[in-house]
């Protein structure tokens, strides 16, 4: 306190200036707060970037270094996102090839044609598969499609060799349309070759054969092996991320599991009867079930409760756990067809059919039908048993 008074005495003017400046800053701060502006937001914004942190700590040089790291981090994020996007695309091509039997080159070609005219890859692949199926059927069975191909000038040798593919078929239909073929006839021919989804290919057909070639002949074709490798690489990326998730689950989930066990142990201590420290297995099972964590399935409860038992007691404890978990539940046995058949043969002699009871009435009526069978098939000298309803009446 003495030092403070000396300082004030020596520099009273500077102190007054400092206090006045502080007062103005506080006034601005209060005004900004009342106006709904967060006065600390600017600092927070700076602290959110490497450039801002570098500038605050090390001045201009730090800001330059921070800006470099910001740019480098942004570049890495962009590259990673682009690689992931390309890998997802390559995987879709690879999976389409695996599921359809078409080569990666075929799929890339028909995709390029479809993309140029707004037709989805899924539609292009499905129509191409259908085209291949129908060409095989025409080669083996013949039929109307064989006549249609002959009218178009396509020989069965081309179909057999596979040189007449879906792209060539689309170009021939496009040329036929350009020559004046009406849409109804075009749709009929196209449906016979590509199936009912041919109508979705009409934008391609109407564009003309030259446009189809232009769309298929991209400037650079990706290597099929590279496409397949990049598609497989996405599986690795997904596997790595799944592994990281599993590591985090094991770490945090294991901690939660320990906390659950600790809480349960505490509950068990407080609920343990001090007058009966040598409690039976049945009582111990009941107590530990009551204090087990919530939302566990029956199998999880069995494993959890068994942890509190010595190895020699576990078999008996597990039986007791399952017994207490099932409560008053009963095992429901199905009404077997063998039993139903035997009962039906007996009841047919006395009238009625128990299969009708099993098939067309609720389950509770099966018991009534069985009782009726017993009455209808009882020997004449044996008193006919009465149902509980008859006794009540």
SS (H, E, C) 291-314: CCCCCCCHHHHHHHHHCCCCHHHH
DSSP string, 241-282: HHHHHHHHIIIIIHHHHHHHHHHHHHHHHHHS-TT-SS--HH
Residue with tokens 């921070």: 66
Is residue 261 included in any domain, yes or no? yes
What's the whole-number mean pLDDT along residues 199-217? Answer: 91
Residue of 273 and 158 predicted with greater confidence: 158
Is residue 334 included in any domain, yes or no? no
Two tokens, residue 59: 């001045």
Is residue 195 included in any domain, yes or no? yes
Same domain, 204 and 274: no
Residue of 380 and 228 predicted with greater confidence: 228
The residue among 274, 297, 326 that closes a domain is: 326
The residue among 187, 222, 257 that closes a domain is: 222
What's the whole-number mean pLDDT along residues 56-85? Answer: 60
Same domain, 202 and 261: no
Same domain, 212 and 266: no
Nearest to 185 by CA among 195, 173, 194: 173
Same domain, 216 and 119: yes
- Summary mean pLDDT of the chain: 73
Structural domain for 284, as ranges = 247-326
Is residue 53 included in any domain, yes or no? no
Determine contact, residues 366/374, Cβ cutoff 8 Å: no
pLDDT at 74 over 50: yes
Is residue 215 included in any domain, yes or no? yes
Task: Report d(CA 271, CA 280) in Å as an integer.
Answer: 14
Is residue 211 included in any domain, yes or no? yes
Nearest to 114 by CA among 97, 101, 128: 128
Determine contact, residues 150/192, Cβ cutoff 8 Å: no
Residue of 117 and 25 predicted with greater confidence: 117
Is residue 262 included in any domain, yes or no? yes
Instruction: Report the domain count for the chain.
Output: 3
User: pLDDT band at 19, cuts 50/70/90?
Assistant: low
Same domain, 116 and 199: yes
Question: How confident is the model over 343-365, as pLDDT tens digits?
Answer: 556 555 555 555 554 454 444 55
Is residue 301 included in any domain, yes or no? yes
């Amino acid at each position: 306190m003495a030092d403070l008074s000396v300082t004030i005495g020596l520099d009273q003017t500077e102190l007054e200036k400092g206090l006045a400046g502080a007062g103005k800053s506080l006034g601005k701060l209060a005004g900004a707060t009342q106006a709904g502006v967060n006065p600390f937001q600017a600092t927070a914004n700076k602290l959110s970037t490497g450039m801002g942190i570098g500038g605050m700590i090390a001045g201009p040089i730090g800001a330059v270094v921070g800006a470099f790291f910001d740019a480098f981090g942004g570049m890495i994020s962009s590259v990673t996102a682009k690689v992931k996007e390309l890998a997802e695309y390559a995987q879709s091509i690879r999976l389409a090839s695996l599921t359809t039997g078409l080569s990666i080159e075929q799929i890339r070609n028909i995709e390029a044609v479809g993309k140029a005219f707004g037709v989805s890859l899924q539609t292009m692949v499905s129509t191409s598969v259908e085209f291949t199926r129908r060409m095989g059927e025409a080669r083996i069975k013949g039929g109307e499609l064989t006549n249609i191909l002959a009218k178009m000038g396509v020989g069965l040798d081309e179909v057999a060799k596979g040189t007449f593919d879906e792209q060539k078929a689309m170009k021939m239909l496009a040329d036929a349309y350009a020559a004046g073929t009406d849409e109804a006839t075009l749709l009929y021919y196209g449906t016979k070759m590509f199936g009912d989804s041919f109508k979705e290919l009409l934008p391609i057909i109407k564009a003309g054969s030259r446009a189809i070639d232009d769309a298929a002949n991209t400037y650079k074709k990706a290597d099929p092996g590279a496409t397949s490798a990049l598609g497989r690489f996405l599986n690795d990326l997904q596997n790595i991320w799944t592994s990281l998730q599993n590591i985090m689950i094991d770490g945090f989930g294991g901690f939660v599991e320990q906390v659950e066990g600790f809480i349960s142990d505490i509950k068990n201590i407080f609920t343990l009867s001090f007058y009966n420290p040598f409690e039976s297995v049945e009582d111990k099972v009941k107590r530990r079930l009551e204090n087990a964590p919530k939302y566990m399935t029956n199998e999880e409860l069995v494993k959890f409760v068994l942890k509190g038992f010595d190895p020699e007691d576990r078999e008996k404890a597990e039986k007791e756990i399952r017994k207490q978990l099932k409560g008053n539940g009963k095992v429901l046995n199905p009404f077997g067809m063998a039993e139903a058949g035997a009962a039906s043969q007996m009841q047919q002699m006395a009238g009625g059919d128990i299969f009708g009871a099993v098939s067309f009435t609720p389950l509770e009526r099966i018991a009534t039908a069985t009782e009726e069978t017993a009455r209808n098939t009882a020997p004449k000298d044996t008193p006919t048993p009465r149902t509980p309803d008859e006794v009540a009446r």
